[in-house]
Amino acid sequence: MTSGAAPLEPDAGAEGAAAAARSRGSSFYAGMRILPRPQREAMFEIYSFCRAVDDIADDGGPLLPRKAALERWRRDIDAIYTGEPPKSLPPGLITAVRAFDLQRADFHDVIDGMEMDVDEDIRAPDLAKLDLYCDRVASAVGCLSVRVFGLPANEGIALAHHLGRALQLTNILRDLDEDAAIGRLYLPREPLRAAGIAESEPNAVLAHPALAAACAPVIAMADGHFREARKIMARCPRKSIRAPMIMAEAYQPILAQLTARGFAPPRTRISASKWRILLAVLRHGLVL
């Protein structure tokens, strides 16, 4: 959403307001802004947690302090479930965990995903490793989110699986140059080799004339996950899928635009259309 999006109400909690401020300007904000206050503030706390651990992963500083920072987050999350959370932990996150029965394992999975980026600069992982990465950094976030949205258990887990992967794979295709700038390449090894690209050094791969052929299977994977996610949302109560539907409608056109643009340099940055987001908010935000 644009930076001019409506702020949280004046009496919203300080932690929820701070988390919302961090997300403002993203398509995430548009999807969450339509939720009732308890759900909205819980989602902003989840977002703030994810941003905090992601910042650790992307910091680029010495290895040991970053691993120690992630380990502190593991201990702090564990402390919520043992009844002695530290005072440094945002009270809003503790409230969200207890109000929506958020699962410790999902928080740990997110941290484990960030640790994959800390342990090494991922370059051309095999498909199994890429799927594990997507499961941790995206679908685990989805598992936390669907509890807040109120989806039925089985549909919620399936939606987290498919929509999380669809969004993450789209991000990978969109952010090729940004990731290469920090030494990372998330395109999977098998499509690269099938396209005749033996390199794994990010800049060499991105300059290769067969890059589009290597991206095509990843596009197909993301598109398949979007289709499955939409099938799941079609059989869920409309009120429970308002936010994830807005996210899908913000991101799926990015995938289409990436396909149309191609992957030859120079690659223009593609972002979610503000008008598409606004239309999605109007379409789904008024559902009762």
pLDDT in tens, 95-147: 999 999 999 999 999 999 999 999 999 999 999 999 999 999 999 999 999 99
Joined tokens for residue 248: 């899908």
Joined tokens for residue 270: 């593609």
Query: pTM for the whole thing?
Result: 0.88
DSSP 8-state assignment for residue 151: -
Q: Where are the domains of the chain?
A: 14-285
Residue 24 has pLDDT above 70, yes or no: no
Task: Tell me the DSSP string of 209-262.
Answer: TTHHHHHHHHHHHHHHHHHHHHHHHHTS-GGGGHHHHHHHHHHHHHHHHHHHH-
What's the pLDDT score for residue 4?
32
- Nearest partner of 229 among 157, 163, 184, judged by Cα: 163
Residue 254 has pLDDT above 80, yes or no: yes
Name the CA dihedral angle for 196, 201, 203, 204, rounded to a multiple of 10 degrees. Answer: -40
Lookup result for tokens 């980026």? 117
Q: Give the model confidence (pLDDT) of 66-95 as tens digits.
A: 999 999 999 999 999 998 888 889 999 999
SS3 of 3-60: CCCCCCCCCCCHHHHHHHHHHCCCHHHHHHHCCCHHHHHHHHHHHHHHHHHHHHHHCC
What's the pLDDT score for residue 175?
96
Structure confidence at residue 13 as a pLDDT band (50, 70, 90): very low
Across the range 45-63, mean pLDDT stands at 92
- Beta bridge mates, 185: 123
What's the pLDDT score for residue 28?
62
Of 1.10.600.10, 3.30.470.10, 1.10.240.10, 3.40.640.10, the CATH number of 14-285 is 1.10.600.10
Residue 203 has pLDDT above 90, yes or no: yes
Cβ neighbours for 204, distance < 8 A, ≥ 6 positions apart? none
Neighbouring C-beta atoms of residue 4, cutoff 10 Å: 8
